[in-house]
Chain A
Amino acid sequence: MDPLISIQPSEPAAVYRPGDRFECEYQIDAVEATEVQAVEASLLWYTEGKGEDDMGVHFFQRRTSYDAEDHDLRALHRFKTDMPRSPLSYDGLLFRIRWCVRVRVFLRRGRSLVAEQPIQLGPRLTHLNPEPAATAESTGA
């Protein structure tokens, strides 16, 4: 059975505004303490859609067993940061910009597990064109 990762932002349903204080806690269950070698928590944006995926990390924290009390990385851990001013969440025609909290757990023997909790930065912005025209061009490589 895979370990369970729970992520709980302080206001999971809320829309965060740029500059807002963001607090989040996470916990790991269903795994032995000695199995967990490191945990990485990130607050990041990424794009998804027709183009190649891009990603930007706003907050990043890596903890190993030496950083944790009793060398146990499973315990509830909280982090906080200020939300950035951009990019805002966006639903476009060709791509979307998403924000999420991502927790990555590194286990023994090179295994790793990822859990995500989506959040929203800014109002829900979409494209404003009801009938968009597409133009495509290609450059050989």
Chain B
Amino acid sequence: MEVFVQQLVNGLTLGSIYGLIAIGYTMVFGIIGMVNFAHGDIFMLSAFIALIFFIFLTSWLGIGSIAIALLIVLVLAMILTSLWGWAVERIAYRPLRGSFRLAPLISAIGVSIFLSNFVQVVQGARNKSIPPMVNGGITLFEDNGYAVTLAYKQIIIMAATAVLLTIFWYVVQKTPLGRAQRACEQDRKMAALLGINVDRTISLTFVMGAALAAVAGTMYLLYYGVVSFSDGFVPGVKAFTAAVLGGIGSLPGAVLGGLIIGLVETLWSAYFSIEYKDVAAFSILAIVLIFMPSGILGRPEVEKV
């Protein structure tokens, strides 16, 4: 029982990170119908940006308070990763609108390979680790000498996910930008005729996705304290799984899917085998796509001839 509750807590934390990445996938897929394959690598890049800023703030500027440093790192990482997201969309995806269907996906794979090797070239191939930023936690209950703890960093991660999901959900549902996004999602040509700047709306969607990936990257660094250039691929695929599982195009669905994937992964590692945890996640992707393509909260796709 204690082990189960502890794994539940860990799974929800991991799932929150997946959920944050998944929102970027789901928004981009919703609006232009492409899998932004490079999103996982944007996440990895943001973790590196956060890492460098964190070292810069603590050892060069000597900021003592971890809370302030973390907040500054988060804001800076969000801004700079957004710039990357914007640049990637501008260079690699925008010229391809109206090209054949697989062109954006192939371009995205190219960006993904480029980004991970770019980071390898400029930052080296070794794992980069930093001392833990936030220590300690709350002991929820103790039984048979096994204490179930909720670490402070886990609280930060879950709270950040909840707050950001609320903010972004509000943006998509209630603001003019969100309305423009949903209009482009339904019919891009019609939206353009009605005076919506389609290119700008799509750019902003990428920027929002990248900003959320930056939060996920910072949280990943906070949680594990280690990052390497190849860390984008597997979390990226798992987050995509989460987006599909939750129903592509739905923001709460993405976070819900992320939480489920996180739980499955941790519980699978705890009770079955840790070696096959990625196999479990990848199998969920295949099973969901084959048997339940519209996901939990998504709308069924209508085939237009």
| Mutual binders A and B | no
